[in-house]
Structures are given as structure tokens and as C-alpha cells.
């Protein structure tokens, strides 16, 4: 074999539980299940042609990710997002992103590996929106967006902040708001992420605060509009 011949790596085969977990998650994002809808394990098992066990395990994982709510004696339901919760989510994110801004700038100045991860993520975002209509592949762009914000907060050195972000973001995903975000908004997000990164690397605290605030305010307004429209459609 030539040393230039690429090595083919076997893709990891998903377990049945992982397959069902991903299928249900995708169906939730596609709004095949509505916010607040009860999930019956036996009905899901019949639908996906599997036993109850992988469905139970998949739902438990979704509950851990806050996409599904598990209420004792009442079973599991798709999480419902309220306008108040949506505002609270963005208030929390704005508070964390701006509070740790100075530490994040310092970390990115000296942590070459983390800085490169963020730059690679930005490059991947640009490549994705140039090659794909992200409105048809919302899950892929959601993951890139989530990775950017997770890496940004990781630069703060505060694990609780990173954990809090991971607990907040699935609310908007489960409610179908984020996945309804139009392609042009994803394009805007990439430019706003770039502005955040440029300000952080320039160690310009005021510019970083401005870039963060503008990005989160724009996202808040866009998702609030989508949420309101979804509510009107669902009520008809």
C-alpha cells in the first residue's frame, strides 16, 4: 500500500438504542410530535418495529438532554417552551457570555489549541452554508452553532457555565423554533460569530460585548417570531 493511500476507517455501527434515539430526536425536530404531546413507549415500539427496551432507553437519554420531560406517574412528554422561558434562556446566555468575556479573551490569546478549534468551527460553518441549504439540514447547522458557543464558553474556564448552556439550548430545539430558523438567518449567524471571534482575538472588550449582545438579541427576536408563528399555526 502506498503511503499516500488513504486509510479507510470503519464507521461505528450504531446500537439499536442509538438509532431509535436519533430517529425520535429527528422526528421531534420535524414536529412529527408536538410540544406537550405524551409519548407512549409501546406505541413508539410498534411504530419503529423494536421492543420496548430501546425505546425506554432512548427516551431516557432525551429526558437527560431536556428534550423530553419525564414526570413521575404521568409518563414522558415533549418539552413545551413558553415565551417566558425563551426570554429567560437568552437572558442567561447573554449574562454568561458577557460576564466571562474578559477571561475568554485571555484564554484565546494563550490557548492556541482552543483558538484553532473555534477558527476551524467557523470555517466549517462557512463551508456548510455555502454547500447546503441549512433549512433542509437544520440538525447539522444546529450542532455547529452549539459547538461554537460551547467552545466560546469553555474558554472561560468555568465548567458550570458550559453545563448550563448544554441544559438551555435543547429547549429551543425541542420546541421546533431553532430548527425552523431560515437559511438567511443561519448565514447571518456565521457573520455574527465571526464578529465575536474578531473582537475576542483583538482583545477589544467593548467590541466583544457589542458583538455578543447583537448576536443574541438577533437570535432572540428571530426565534420569538418563529415561536409566535408556530403557536398561531398549532392553535388553528
Judge whether residue 6 has pLDDT over 70. no
Q: What is the pLDDT of residue 174?
A: 58
In the chain, the domains with their CATH numbers are 16-78 (1.10.10.10), 83-235 (1.20.120.530)
Q: What is the pLDDT of residue 4?
A: 47
**170 burial via Cβ count (<10 Å: 0-12, 13-18, 19+):** buried
Q: Which residue is it, cell 448576536?
A: 215
Q: What is the pLDDT of residue 179?
A: 62
**13 burial via Cβ count (<10 Å: 0-12, 13-18, 19+):** exposed
Q: Phi first, then psi: give them for residue 89, nearest 5 degrees.
A: -60, -45
pLDDT band at 139 (very low <50, low <70, confident <90, very high): confident
Q: What is the pLDDT of residue 110?
A: 95
Q: What is the pLDDT of residue 22?
A: 86
Output the DSSP codes for the chain. Answer: --TTSPPPPPPPPPPHHHHHHHHHHHHHHTTSS-TT-EE-HHHHHHHHTS-HHHHHHHHHHHHHTTSEEEETTTEEEEPP--HHHHHHHHHHHHHHHHHTHHHHHHHHHH-HHHHHHHHHHHHHHHHHHHHS-TTT-HHHHHHHHHHHHHHHHHTTT-HHHHHHHHHHHHHHHHTTSGGG--HHHHHHHHHHHHHHHHHHHTT-HHHHHHHHHHHHHHHHHHHHHHHHHHHHHHH-
Rounded to whole angstroms, the Cα distance separating 7 from 143 reads: 27
Q: What is the pLDDT of residue 68?
A: 86
pLDDT in tens, 82-133: 778 888 989 999 999 999 999 999 999 999 999 999 999 999 999 999 887 7
Rounded to whole angstroms, the Cα distance separating 38 from 70 reads: 10
Q: What is the pLDDT of residue 113?
A: 96
Of residues 92, 78, 76, 88, the one with CA closest to residue 175: 78
Judge whether residue 217 has pLDDT over 90. yes
Cell numbers for 160: 458550570
pTM of the model: 0.76
pLDDT in tens, 151-165: 999 999 999 999 998
Q: Which has more pLDDT, 89 or 211?
A: 211
Asked if residues 151 and 121 have their Cβ atoms less than 8 Å apart, the reply is yes
pLDDT in tens, 36-51: 889 999 999 999 999 9
Of the listed ranges 28-37, 87-96, 205-214, the one predicted with least confidence: 28-37
Mean pLDDT of 19-32: 84
Amino acid at each position: 500500500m502506498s503511503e499516500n493511500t488513504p486509510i479507510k476507517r470503519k464507521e461505528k455501527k450504531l446500537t439499536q438504542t442509538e438509532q431509535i434515539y436519533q430517529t425520535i430526536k429527528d422526528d421531534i425536530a420535524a414536529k412529527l410530535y408536538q410540544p406537550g404531546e405524551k409519548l407512549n413507549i409501546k406505541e413508539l415500539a410498534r411504530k419503529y418495529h423494536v421492543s420496548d427496551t430501546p425505546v425506554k432507553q432512548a427516551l431516557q437519554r432525551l429526558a437527560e438532554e431536556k428534550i423530553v420531560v419525564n414526570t413521575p406517574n404521568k409518563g414522558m412528554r415533549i418539552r413545551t417552551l413558553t415565551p417566558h422561558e425563551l426570554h429567560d434562556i437568552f437572558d442567561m446566555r447573554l449574562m454568561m457570555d458577557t460576564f466571562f468575556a474578559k477571561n475568554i479573551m485571555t484564554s484565546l490569546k494563550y490557548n492556541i489549541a482552543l483558538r484553532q478549534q473555534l477558527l476551524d468551527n467557523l470555517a466549517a460553518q462557512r463551508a456548510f452554508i455555502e454547500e447546503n441549504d441549512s433549512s433542509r439540514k437544520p440538525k447539522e447547522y444546529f450542532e455547529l452553532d452549539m459547538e461554537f458557543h460551547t467552545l466560546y464558553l469553555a474558554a472561560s474556564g468555568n465548567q458550570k457555565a458550559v453545563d448550563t448552556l448544554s441544559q438551555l439550548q435543547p429547549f429551543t430545539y425541542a420546541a421546533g423554533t431553532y430548527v425552523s430558523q431560515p437559511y438567511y438567518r443561519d448565514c447571518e449567524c456565521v457573520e455574527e460569530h465571526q464578529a465575536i471571534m474578531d473582537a475576542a482575538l483583538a482583545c477589544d472588550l467593548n467590541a466583544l460585548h457589542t458583538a455578543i449582545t447583537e448576536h443574541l438579541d438577533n437570535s432572540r427576536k428571530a426565534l420569538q417570531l418563529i415561536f409566535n408563528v408556530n403557536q398561531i399555526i398549532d392553535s388553528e
